[in-house]
Each structure stands twice: as C-alpha cells, then as structure tokens.
Amino acid sequence: MTNLKKLHSKTLYGYGNADFRRIHISLPAELADLLSRQYPNGSRSRMISLAIIERLQKIEEVELESVRKELGDFLGVE
C-alpha cells in the first residue's frame, strides 16, 4: 500500500511560459484546477495532465478503501 503522505508530498515538473515550474500536489482536484488553467482544451499536455490526475484519483480511492477496510477490521466493524 502506498503511503498517503508520500502521495501528498510528490512533486511534478511541468512546462509553462518558457520555464519549468514545480507543482506540489495536495489533492488531485487541486491539481486538476491548476492544470486546467495552465493548458488549453485539446492540447497534448492537457490530455497527459488529465491522465495523471485520473491515475492519482484512482490511487487515492484504492488507498482510502484499504484504510477503511483496515480500520474496520481493527475495530471489528464492517
């Protein structure tokens, strides 16, 4: 299981306005908002960005479900 804190602190490197910018990820939704303003609709960079966001959301959902299950097992709740 990937640690949520590690996911929270990952840094992506993106290209915009002729300089590299560091984008700190706190939530996939926050990243989606940032990238939707960064890249125009239909651009290759935007499609790649959306794929990254989708993957992060899936990872987050799987981890949250795993945490819920572990906590439920620990507390004896289903």
pTM beyond 0.85: the answer is no
Mean per-residue pLDDT of the chain: 63
Q: Provide the 3-class DSSP secondary structure of residue 16.
A: strand
Closest to 43 measured CA to CA, from 15, 74, 7, 9:
15
pLDDT in tens, 59-75: 777 777 777 777 777 76
Question: Strand 11-16 and strand 19-24: pairing?
Answer: antiparallel
Number of domains comprising the chain: 1
Residue 10's pLDDT is 46
User: Domain range holding 21?
Assistant: 4-75
